[in-house]
Chains A and B, each alone.
Chain A
Amino acid sequence: KQEVTQIPAALSVPEGENLVLNCSFTDSAIYNLQWFRQDPGKGLTSLLLIQSSQREQTSGRLNASLDKSSGRSTLYIAASQPGDSATYLCAPGSYNTDKLIFGTGTRLQVFP
């Protein structure tokens, strides 16, 4: 059974800092991994999708890496802004089930 852990659970930083959010998963038989953002009371916004054959993906100030064999993914946020404040969720998609299993999330607050 896939289990997903995200560290840290919460993070509060001043604007401008570069951030690292960590995601670990127990079942490495995945076809991809998605990173999402969720604002309070809202649905999920897809940020990045990494295929299992890829090592990283970049979109603007966001960069996600994937080390499938060790069951880890990292989301880098460069030059953080107050608008980045949200909960960030990672979700690997398992070959065995086609399902996304979500991590516990990292709650990020960026203050001016």
Chain B
Amino acid sequence: GAVVSQHPSRVICKSGTSVKIECRSLDFQATTMFWYRQFPKQSLMLMATSNEGSKATYEQGVEKDKFLINHASLTLSTLTVTSAHPEDSSFYICSAPTSGSTYEQYFGPGTRLTVT
């Protein structure tokens, strides 16, 4: 199957700083990628849809100025958490769908963000 990577896998940052998380599709191109966050023992919550070459689409209640998304190429989307606070600590996961009739989504391994 297709492979999606994320970097870093874990990051600890101080309150007020910004953190960038990368999501890459390694063996296929993705014009669209999705960003999710997951709190402990909860399901995945869709944050935004990342669109190559255009602005991201954010879900209701997600602050677009806080969670900056850039989809600069067909294989890379980045999520930047700006001015991070402890409540932003979470598990962030990206996904990318393959093209064609199946439109199957593949997920990255996730990034654990801890804000101290």
CB contact between B102 and one of A32, A91, A100, A104 (< 8 Å): that residue: A32
Q: Which of A10-62 contact B (CB under 8 A)?
A: 31-32, 34, 36, 41-46, 49, 51
Binding-face segment, B68-76, B82-90, B104-112? B104-112
Q: Which residue of A lies closest to B108 (CB)?
A: A43
Query: How large, as a class, is the contact surface on chain A?
Result: 20 to 34
A44-B103 in contact (CB<8A):
no
Alpha-carbon separation in the docked complex, A46 to B95 (Å): 11
A41-B112 in contact (CB<8A):
yes
Q: Is the interface of A mostly helix, strand, loop or mixed?
A: strand
A103-B112 in contact (CB<8A):
no
CB contact between A43 and one of B32, B42, B45, B109 (< 8 Å): that residue: B109
Q: Which residue of A lies closest to B59 (CB)?
A: A99
The answer to the question of B78 belonging to the interface, with a C-beta cut-off of 8 Å to chain A, is no
Residues on A lying within 8 angstroms of B by beta carbon are: 31-32, 34, 36, 41-46, 49, 51, 89, 91, 93, 98-105
In the assembled complex, 14 residue pairs joining A and B whose CB atoms fall closer than 8 Å, in A order, are: A31-B103, A32-B102, A32-B104, A41-B110, A41-B112, A42-B110, A43-B110, A44-B95, A51-B101, A91-B105, A93-B105, A100-B34, A103-B43, A104-B43
